[in-house]
């Protein structure tokens, strides 16, 4: 097997995930580079991730967001209603050699989900980045402030409706009109 091919997925029952009593039953799909992709409702996002952690997923390897403003009709499993934003958390079980992607739909009119900081302290910076660039709030986050953009920046640059334009850059020692 080459380094870029995914490892074959173990049976979910054997790995203690889908179908087991310790992880809630939510819509799932097979993943291309993960063992499974879970689509929990926003209200049970934190609970699902907490139960994944308890069943052996000891690392949150990435947390990001996607703005689907221009792709509202994307394909999702039955029972999952598409929203403008999606928060994506990638969990890793080093001991079981398994990966799970958790994709939660976040509506435009209330862009907020629960924080994962209490489960995975490394989520602190990743959630701040999502807040800064997409404007998605994380309830319970200890320091939800901008991390990349200046504090007085208006808007969220990775939103699809963010105005694309030229931002003037003024260099200290640059020659030019004064």
pLDDT of residue 161 exceeding 60, the answer is yes
Name the 3-class secondary structure at 123: helix
Residue 176 has pLDDT above 50, yes or no: yes
Contacts of 73 (CB under 8 A, 6+ apart): 82
The pLDDT value recorded for residue 22 is 54
Q: What is the largest CA-CA distance in the chain?
A: 70
Which pLDDT does position 24 carry in this prediction?
63
Mean pLDDT computed over 25-49: 85
Average pLDDT over residues 154-170: 79
Question: Phi and psi dihedrals of 13, rounded to 5?
Answer: -65, -35
The whole-number average pLDDT for the span 12-29 is: 52
HSE, side-chain direction, 13 A CA sphere, residue 32: 1
Q: Flag whether pLDDT at 91 surpasses 60.
A: yes
- Provide the pLDDT for residue 48: 96
> Comparing 140 with 1, which gets the higher pLDDT?
140
Q: Is the pLDDT of residue 99 over 90?
A: yes
Residue 104, exposed/middle/buried by CB under 10 A (0-12, 13-18, 19+)?
buried
Lowest-confidence region among 9-23, 66-80, 88-102: 9-23
Note the pLDDT of residue 73.
83
Instruction: Compute the average pLDDT of residues 26-52.
Output: 87
Paired sense of beta strands 112-114 and 137-139, if any? parallel
For the structural domain made of 13-139, what CATH number should be given? 3.30.460.80
Cα gap 12→21, rounded to integer Å: 12
């Amino acid at each position: 097997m080459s380094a870029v091919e995914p490892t074959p997925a173990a049976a979910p029952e054997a790995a203690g995930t889908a179908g087991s009593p310790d992880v809630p039953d939510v819509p799932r799909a097979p993943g291309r580079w993960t063992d499974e992709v879970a689509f929990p409702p926003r209200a049970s996002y934190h609970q699902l991730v907490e139960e994944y952690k308890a069943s052996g997923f000891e690392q949150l390897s990435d947390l990001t967001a996607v703005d689907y403003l221009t792709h509202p009709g994307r394909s999702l499993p039955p029972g999952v209603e598409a929203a403008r934003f999606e928060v994506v958390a990638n969990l890793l079980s080093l001991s079981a050699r398994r990966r799970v992607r958790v994709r939660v739909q976040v509506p435009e009119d209330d862009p907020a989900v629960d924080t994962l900081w209490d489960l995975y302290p490394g989520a602190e910076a990743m959630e701040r980045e999502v807040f800064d660039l997409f404007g998605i709030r994380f309830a319970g986050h200890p320091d939800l402030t901008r991390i990349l953009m200046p504090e007085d920046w208006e808007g969220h640059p990775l939103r699809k409706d963010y105005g694309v334009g030229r931002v003037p850059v003024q260099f200290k020692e640059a020659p030019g009109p004064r």
